[in-house]
Chains A and B, each alone.
Chain A
Amino acid sequence: MKESKEELIGYLRKMMDIRLFEEKVMELLARNIIKGASHLYAGEEAVAVGACSAIEEDDYITSTHRGHGHCLAKGGKLPEMMAELCGKATGYCKGRGGSMHIADVTKGNLGATGIVASNLPVAVGAALSAKMRKTNQVVLCFFGDGASNNGIFHESLNMAAVWKLPVVFVCENNLYGMSVAANRCSAVQDMADKAKAYDMPNMICDGMDILDVKETIKKAVERARKGDGPTLVECKTYRYFGHSRSDPRAYRTKEEEKEWRNKCPIKQFSKKLTDNKILTEEEIAQIEKQAEEAVESAEKFAIESPYPDVRELMDDIYAPSPADLLNGGAIR
């Protein structure tokens, strides 16, 4: 492995943060402390962490309804995230976005969306902007297998390809769009194949293997940064929980779930680290304990945080108009 020990520990820790965060969210949903919908990312950690470790801090991502992992991997902080999920004033979006709209625009996370595939053209626009501003930034656009069946997926890939934009489309193929298996609703089984229609290079990687994800995305990012245009990368992965909390998962078997649990990205990566004598099991247990404590403290922060002041209900619907529009220069 060519990464430094610190980097590798960082990846492991981030994946553990995501896993434990999601398990905590599941618990808080059951206790009705978190209201509303939450689509958990557990099982897919290697994709977010692998992909985000292949980009720079000032690069952009656009995210999905299953966006907690992306947010954390792009540098999001556990307390602000948990507070957002709880609808608290201290959350990333002041409690207005919640789980499905978690965003930290100032850190390049252009936001999660509650509408499948809705973030794709936004990623295209961000990439267009990066290209026009000549900033050399790239955009990672996360979406699921289900989104690749939506019309806007095709509009977005086409436009990105025509304009040779620095965007990497990252398809997280977790086999199901809510309850419908990908093989029942997509005419092709490798979502990566859909890039062919747009003369766009594609790659497939093991979404349960963080280093494979990182290496693959890295190639696509390098291409984008060189000005060679977009790539579609498909990461084969699996979500451990249901689509959302109300989902009894009757559409898939226990055996299938077990099979994918055996491919757990955290377990696999931990084993790799111990096999290569980079970390001992004790050290890994220690890292997990730190993650646990961090999630506990995020929970505490969120629970103790106040709800937003209802007087702020109407704030931030509109941006203030520049002063020159309000006075001066006006002819009525």
Chain B
Amino acid sequence: MREILYKDALVEAMQEEMKRDDRVLVMGEDVAIYGGAYGATKGLYEQFGEERVRDTAISESAIVGAAIGAAITGMRPIAEIMYIDFITQAMDQLVNQAAKMRYMFGGKTTVPMVLRTEGGAGRCIAAHHSQSLEAWIMHVPGLYLVMPSTPYDAKGLLKASIRDDNPVVFIEHKMLYAMKGEVPETDYIIPLGVADIKKKGSDVTIVAYSRQLHVAMEAAAELEKDNISAEVIDPRTLKPLDLDAILTSVKKTSKLVIVSEGYKTCNVASEIAMLVMEHGFDLLDAPVKRVCAVDVPVPMSPVLEDAAIPNKQNVINAVKEVCQ
């Protein structure tokens, strides 16, 4: 199969959906002429024109709010917020409007929009451009949360998100845009709420998503050398979360490590650990371990930045502790 970049997989997903459905539009800062800060909208402006691919002012609230207004009146907007750090400026629109409208209005409306943004550390761009705030999103009823780790997943999940009738927050990782992987040229979707087993194993379950999936995979490869067979599960969508897939794996392995690049306190991993305790305590042979970012604003210096987020060794150590 041909291999393309993660960012090109995203472009392809939007391209196909915009061709398929003329209600789909893209708007955000620098998404048109520039092609997106990370190149994830490149070529769309040339292909679809300024009516459907819109450069906006640096107005995060207005971008998200306008996407909501367009969505509830018959369009299917994709709004890009350049960095997830900037959604803080649009939280009212996202949390109070997009997430709640359907429920608050008695189920009489739908908000079919996608908020594409990116997150994560790795480029030494410090505390305002490196965060992993997915736990904030996961906390709010009414939003879906998608975090693809591979080009293949990026295309299939974005297409599913665009077709979904719910507001979807779609978080890409800045260190994955240039990653290459196999992506079919065909029109395929990956349903939201379906996890993927990225590596089969029998001794321990590692749940990891977005860029940390790759960290977990490296750790799993290394652990093989020590005769520890790790099963690596990528939930791909954190909401809806495929808890069944996680429980099925834990049933087999009896041990669980969760890896996340978000701050440790109230992390996505905390929630997954608790869910497994609630639904599968008897399956566990060891306490659940989480490997998360340190509770510190992401520092600029490469040495400090690396120390702030999980690495392969952290995952290996955690696995070895639960496998003792």
Assess the B108–A106 pair: CB atoms within 8 A. yes
A120 to B107, CA, bound (A): 22
Task: Please judge, given known A-B contacts A316-B103, A332-B194, whether A121 and B189 are in contact too, CB under 8 Å.
Answer: no
Considering only residues 190-213 of chain B, those with a C-beta below 8 Å from chain A are 190-192, 194, 196
Task: Please determine whether B57 and A122 come into contact, CB atoms closer than 8 angstroms.
Answer: no
Residue of B with least CB distance to A127: B69
How would residues 265 to 295 of chain A score, 1 for a CB under 8 Å from any chain B CB and 0 otherwise?
Answer: 0000000000000000000000000000000
B109: A residues at CB distance < 8 A? 103, 105, 111
A152 within 8 A of B: yes
**Max chain B Cβ within 10 angstroms of own Cβ: one of A105, A114, A129, A133:** A129
Write the nearest CB–CB distance from B12 to chain A, whole angstroms: 15
Q: Check A122/B65 contact, CB under 8 A, given A113-B96, A317-B102.
A: yes
| Cβ-based interface call for B104 (8 A) | yes
Contact of A103 with B104 at beta-carbon distance under 8 Å, contacts A115-B96, A126-B69 already known: yes
Instruction: Kindly supply a per-residue 1/0 record for chain A positions 94-136, scoring 1 wherever the CB is within 8 Å of any chain B CB and 0 otherwise.
Output: 1111000101111000110111001011111111111011000
A123 to B184, CA, bound (A): 39
> 1/0 per position for B157-192, CB-CB distance to A under 8 A?
000100111100000000000000000100111111
B66 at the interface (CB under 8 A from A): yes
Q: Looking across the interface, which residue of chain B has its beta carbon closest to that of A100? A: B104
- Do the beta carbons of B141 and A317 come within 8 Å of each other? yes
CB distance B166 to A319 under 8 Å? yes
**Distance between A190 CB and nearest chain B CB, rounded to angstroms:** 23
Is A33 in the interface zone, CB < 8 Å from B?
Answer: no
CB-defined contacts of B223 to chain A, threshold 8 Å: none
Q: Tell me if A155 is interfacial: C-beta within 8 Å of chain B.
A: yes
Q: Given A115-B96, A315-B107, A319-B102, verify A159-B66 contact (CB < 8 Å).
A: yes
> For residues 66 through 85 of chain B, which have their beta carbon under 8 Å from a beta carbon of chain A?
66-75, 77
A129 touching B165 by the CB < 8 A rule? no
Contact A316 B57 (CB under 8 A): no
Q: How many A-B residue pairs have CB under 8 A?
A: 181
CB-CB under 8 A for A128 and B69, given A101-B105, A151-B61? yes
Does A1 sit within 8 A of B, measured CB to CB?
A: no
From A7-15, A218-226, A252-260, A322-330, the one touching the partner chain is: A322-330
Does B93 make an interface contact (CB < 8 A)? Answer: yes
CA distance A51 to B92 in the complex (A): 27
Q: A324 contacts which chain B residues (CB < 8 A)? A: 163, 189
How many interface residues does chain A have, given as a range?
35 or more
- Measured CB to CB, the closest approach of chain B to A326, in angstroms, equals 6
Judged by a CB distance under 8 angstroms, whether A169 is at the interface is no
Q: A152–B188 contact, CB under 8 A?
A: no
**CB-defined contacts of B64 to chain A, threshold 8 Å:** 121
- In the complex, the chain B residue whose C-beta lies closest to that of A321 is B164
Roughly how many angstroms separate A132 CA and B165 CA in the complex, as a whole number? 19
Q: Render A75-100 as a binary contact track against B, CB cut-off 8 A, 1 for contact.
A: 00000000000000001111111000
- Measured between beta carbons, the chain A residues less than 8 angstroms from B184 are 331
Check: B110 CB closer than 8 A to any chain A CB: yes
Q: Are B97 and A118 in contact (CB under 8 A)?
A: yes
- Bound together, the chains give a CA A133 to CA B71 distance in angstroms of 12
A142 within 8 A of B: no
Contacting residues, chain B, for A60 (C-beta < 8 A) = 73
Query: In the assembly, what is the distance between CA of A128 and CA of B54, in Å?
Result: 11
In angstroms, how far is the closest chain A Cβ from the Cβ of B109? 4
**Chain A residues within 8 Å of B, Cβ to Cβ:** 60, 62, 91-97, 101, 103-106, 110-111, 113-115, 118, 120-130, 132-133, 139, 151-152, 155-156, 158-159, 162-163, 315-322, 324-326, 329-332
Residues of B within 8 A of A (CB): 25, 51-52, 54, 56-57, 59, 61-75, 77, 92-93, 96-97, 101-112, 141-142, 144, 156, 160, 163-166, 184, 187-192, 194, 196
| Known A97-B104, A128-B69, A132-B52; 14 more pairs at CB < 8 Å | A101-B104, A110-B73, A118-B92, A120-B65, A125-B77, A132-B51, A132-B70, A155-B57, A155-B59, A155-B62, A319-B166, A320-B165, A324-B189, A329-B189
